[in-house]
Amino acid sequence: MDEKEWLKITKEIMKTYKKLEKLPAGSLQPHKRNEVVYYYLAYREASSVKRKYIGRKGDPEVQEMKRKIERRKRLEQYLRELKAMNEKHIKEEEKKMKRLRTYAEKMRDTENEKGDGKGEEG
């Protein structure tokens, strides 16, 4: 992966985070009372689980919330894939840097050996 691709992935990660901020966290939970199904959004706030009433089964608000949660889940999966590609690139770059350091150390040692030999002849 070259630098342009890496930058593109990094920008895409940032865009995805911004999209996720606009979507609801948590999951839609059905609760049946008197043969009627009500939906609540269950989410964490600090260390406690909160519930927010969304509507009855079939309400447009419930369908909209389901759509948003499904979108969030897809974006979270996409974000995991992007992060994995990004991590792979970082590891590749770390390997390159390690090889360069090793090469530089060998060159420095070679130069030191040459320098040591010249000092003894003179």
Give me the residues paired with residue 27 across strands: 42
Encode pLDDT of 65-107 as tens digits.
999 999 999 999 999 999 998 888 888 888 888 988 888 888 8
**Cβ-defined contacts of 22-25 (< 8 Å, 24+):** 23/68, 23/69, 23/71, 23/72, 23/75, 24/65, 24/68, 24/69, 24/72, 25/72
Contacts of 72 (CB under 8 A, 6+ apart): 20, 23, 24, 25
pLDDT at 121: 52
pLDDT at 2: 76
The CA distance from 70 to 22, in Å, is 13
Segment 7-14 shows an average pLDDT of 92
Encode pLDDT of 99-110 as tens digits.
888 888 888 888
CB contact at 8 A, 31 and 37: yes
What share of the chain has pLDDT > 70, as a percent?
Answer: 93
**Residue 62 has which token pair?**
């419930």
With cut-offs at 50, 70 and 90, classify the pLDDT of residue 116: low
User: What sign has the CA pseudo-torsion 15, 17, 22, 28?
Assistant: positive
CB contact at 8 A, 77 and 20: no
